Amino acid sequence: MKQYEYSYSEKKLGYSLEGEDIIFRVWAPGRETVTLALYDDPLDIRRTLHYMIPDEDKVFEITLAKDEVTPYYTYILDHEFEVTDPYSTAVSLNSLRSAIVDMENLKPPGWEEHKLPGAIAETDAIIYEMHIKDFTGHKNSGAINKGKYLGVIEPGTTHLGFATGLDHLKELGITHVHLMPVYDFLTVDENPDRFNDDSNYNWGYDPEHYNVPEGSYSTDPSDPGCRIYELRQMIQKLHEEGFKVIVDVVYNHTYRGRNSNFNLLAPEYYYRTRTDGSYSDGSGCGNELATERPMVRKFILDSLMYWVNEFKIDGFRFDLMALIDIETVRKAVNILRLANESIFIYGEPWTAGMTTLSDKLTTTKGKQQGLSFAFLNDNFRNAIKGDSNGEGRGFVHGNCDMKRETEIGLAGSIFYDKGRIGFGIAPNETINYINSHDNLIIYDKMKKIFSQSDESFIVRLNKLAFGILFVSQGIPFIHSGNEFLRSKNMLDNTYNSSFNVNALNWSLKSRNNGFYNFFKDLIQLRKKHPEFRLKTGDKIRESLKFFDVEREGCNCIGYTIKLDNKNVEEGKYTLVAINGHHESCLITLSMVRNHIEKQYGLTEDHLCIIEILNMDGLVTSKNSRGELDPHGVEIPGYSIMVFSLAERCVK
């Protein structure tokens, strides 16, 4: 590998349609000969061979007339190995052979001119993570195209009178749909007759062809163009309904290692190795891509731009982003921002094992500062719920040790003060979440810790956890089904569990409709109140002030946010009170007045307290208790409450 470790070519790789010709190019520095093999049928053994010519950078190339080219192709290396094209944009069933398609002919009506959702500030986003098959695959989803791209966008689907699928997303009020892997992955059989096999399931974090949509989610996976057309249909409809679309990308490892098309084309180049020649395994999946090498970096940048240009993607979530070197991340952010100034970029700031990539090159917390991308915030997650899979407790379970870390999260994980130091400089650098697809889903985590408690208590803890999420500065992220208490049967890593475990059971929406309505209210609270969506670290430090709530124990958090309202009846401050203990705590008005005078330098002789949110949801004019006790308010155990502090109350 040494002789081509620093090789680089600017040439466009893959195939290109140029007038009446097709140009094939592949970088194969580890090979003496490369032969293009063309097939009429993906399972055919008959083929025509065309020898490719290398340039000085070992980019092998051939130009053929379109009428000479058949639909499927591979590359034969040194008359020994046959591989698909890493730059494939279409493949046959189960990724056996690369396919040639004309992307111009695979555009749904209105694709080019369809209206994209307008730009919004990142802290105004509410991200909803979903797996395509999970979302509508269950028998009660009401969808016709269950578990497919098209199933996601079917209008009017219901179960027991409650909206499912697309209409559910619209009703819920989220802004961004985060799609778990929709590129081509290997661990699911794409044969349609196996789609409903309970064991034929995977999340998809095992990439094979990065630029090809996954075929099992299409209605005809044997047609290489169908998956492209239907994924575009889905994205277009989501855009038209006002949702931005984020895709999960896994540029840290591949499913295959030494037998991958990458490694056979350029042995030992695409992967990091240890001194003994074995693969570095910071991914926990057997290998990791050497993103710092020029042609690996080029592939990643080309791939990202392909998804933006051909699928109008609005954002990317980088799996195990720490394994992608920081220089590649910087370059990716720069080219993506040039293409779309408002594109969303975030990732995981950790590895899944030891890596040979030096610490100074890993993309970890702190290195994102000022670089216009965000990290999934495991500090926030752990502060709220404790450890991911065990019985370790978080703030919502009464763990006093997590109070300060919870306050850091509430303040957007910035450097708030000397006692509350986060990893960011602005709230748009933190993706706050309770759980994602990984580990125990939060409902199961609550059940594990309080296994003897009744259901009403488990529901209350979930309300408290998500209440904290939606009043925290930063960007909230939820996993599909969190909104109606989804369970995964107490399994903590369901990436290849049965579909029966992973499918979104829509009957939970009716069963837990009270919780669902509370969850919707949390989203509306955040949307209606910009004080929970502050844009800068300076504004947070200036406006948000914590105060001590006196009680036995330490699990009450109180803070105010000073508002910019001019109308005294609209409220001058928002007060948030969070109780992570079974006993109630009291917040007196004198305590609040003293706090305001100390923190803001203002004297407030006349303040009335009006409920905005309690554990039943948003307080409306119909269920409002009006001005509360002028002496103060009691915060029940395991509760979150939000109040308006106004100079004069509306009668």
Query: So which residues are the catalytic ones?
Result: 319, 348
CA distance 321 to 50: 39
CB 283 within 8 A of CB 253: yes
89 phi, psi to nearest 5 deg:
-115, -10
DSSP codes joined into one string, 349-405: ---SS--SS-TTTS--TTTTTTTT-EEE-HHHHHHHH-SSSSS---GGGT-GGGHHH
CA-CA distance, 343 to 340, in Å (whole number)? 5
Instruction: State how far the alpha carbon of 60 is from the alpha carbons of 34, 262, 263, 291, in Å.
Output: 7, 15, 16, 22
Whole-number Å distance between alpha carbons of 346 and 474: 13
Give the H or E element holding residue 546. Answer: strand 544-547
Q: Are 306 and 16 in contact (CB under 8 A)?
A: no
Packing angle between helix 378-385 and helix 403-410, nearest 10 degrees?
Answer: 130
Checking 531-535 for CB contacts under 8 A at 24+ apart, the result is 531/561, 531/563, 531/574, 532/470, 532/471, 532/472, 532/473, 532/561, 533/121, 533/123, 533/124, 533/473, 534/123, 534/412, 534/427, 534/473, 534/561, 535/121, 535/123, 535/426, 535/427, 535/428
Residue closest to 597 by CA, chosen among 570, 558, 565, 562:
562
Dist. CA 178–CA 399, nearest whole Å: 31
CA 554 from centroid of its chain's CA atoms: 33
Place of tokens 């009703």: 171
Question: What string of DSSP letters covers 33-83?
Answer: -EEEEEESSTT-S--EEEE-EE-TT-EEEEEEEGGG--SEEEEEETTTEEE
Record the tokens describing residue 215, joined without a space: 């075929």
Give residue 571's region: left, alpha or beta (phi > 0; psi -120 to 50): left
Position 66: which residue type?
Answer: K
